Structure 1
Amino acid sequence: MATIDYIIKHAEQHCKNNGSRLTDKRKNVLAGLLQSEKALSAYELANYCAKELDQSLPAMSVYRILDFLQEEQLVHKLNLANKYVACSHITCDHAHEVPQFLICSDCQRVTEIGINKKIIQTLQANVEEAGYHLKSPQLEINCICEACVKED
C-alpha cells in the first residue's frame, strides 16, 4: 500500500499536469481524508486541521478546497451523507470504472469499488424505462463490514 506522502506527491503532479496547484492547505485536507477510513464532513476536516496540524481553516475554506479536490478527481463526495472520501485510485494512471461506495452502517468505514460500465448502462436503461434520467451513476450502498459482523 502506498504511503500518504507518495499519494500526495502523485496528486501534486496530477494537479500540475492539469495546470492547477495542490497548495499546502489542499494537501492537508487531502491528507486528512487519506488517513481516515471513514468519510469526513468539511467540519470534521476543519477540526482535523486544527487538532492535528495546528492550522485553523474555516469550514467554508474546507468546502472550497473539497470542491477543488473533487474537480481534480482526487476525492469523492458521498451525497447521502454529505461527506467526502479520498479517491482510492489517486496513484493509478489507467481509466477507472464508475465508483461504488460500500458504507458500513455500524463503524462508518467506506470502501470504494468499481462498477463495470455494462452494469451502469443496464441501470441507466432501467432508470429511463421508469421515466427518469440518471444524474450520476455513483452508487452508495449501506452495508456492514466484515469486522463489524465479527463483533456481533
Structure 2
Amino acid sequence: MDERGGERAFAAALAACRQEGIALTPSRRRILEILACEGRPLGAYDMIDRVAQATGKRPAPISIYRALDFLLENSLVHRLASCNAYLACGHGHAAQEPIVFLICEVCGEVVEATSESMRGALADLAAQAKFQPRAQVMEVAGRCRTCAGA
C-alpha cells in the first residue's frame, strides 16, 4: 500500500469509528495509524519499535496488545495467524463477512479479498453443519503477480 493508500485507509477507519461511536484513545489511534500507513502486516514488537520512533518512549508490550485487542474486537484490524502479525482492515466490511488473505511468501504483500460466491458457499457449509460462525478468515500462501513473474 502506498502512502496515499495508507492515509485513505486510516481516514476510512476513523470515519467508521465516528459512525459506530468507537472511541479511540491516543494509543489505539497511533497503532491503527501505524498499521494503516505501513500497508503490510506487523508483529506487536515491530509496533513497539514504531511507537518508540514516533514518540521517543518505548511502550510496554501489554499496552500494544491491549490496543490490538480493542482494534480487533471492533474490526479495524485483522490478525494473520500464519505469521502472528496484524494488518489494518482495508475494506470496512461487516465483522461476520468471510475474508481471504492472499499472502505472498516472497515479498510479504497481503491482499484482503472477499467474494460473493465464497460467502454463499461458506453459509451453505455452516447451515448444513448447523454451525453459527463468529469469524470466517482464510489465509492463502503463494506468490503475488510480481513475484510469480520474476
User: Normalising to structure 2: TM-score of the pair?
Assistant: 0.78
For residues 43-97 of structure 1, what are the alpha-carbon distances to aligned partners after superposition, in whole Å with 9 as ceiling and x for unaligned? 111111112443422221111101111111110111222211110124xxx7584
Does the 8 Å contact 1:49/1:55 carry over to 2?
yes
The more displaced of 50-59 and 108-117 is 50-59
The alpha-carbon deviation at position 136 of structure 1 amounts to: 3.6
Does the 8 Å contact 1:11/1:22 carry over to 2?
no
Alignment of 1:110-129 (within 5 A): 110-116=110-116, 117-124=119-126, 128=129
Counterpart CA distance in 1 for 2:81 and 2:139 is 8
Alignment of 1:82-121 (within 5 A): 82-90=84-92, 97-116=97-116, 117-121=119-123
Which residue matches 2:136?
A: 137
Give unpaired runs (5+ residues) of structure 1: none
| TM-align CA RMSD | 2.9
User: Normalising to structure 1: TM-score of the pair?
Assistant: 0.77
Alignment of 1:46-61 (within 5 A): 46-61=48-63
Counterpart CA distance in 2 for 1:28 and 1:63 is 13
Counterpart CA distance in 2 for 1:113 and 1:105 is 17
Which residue matches 2:27?
A: 25
Q: Which amino acid aligns with 1:50?
A: A
The alpha-carbon deviation at position 5 of structure 1 amounts to: 4.4
Does the 8 Å contact 1:103/1:141 carry over to 2?
yes
One of 65, 77, 84 as aligned partner of 1:75: 77
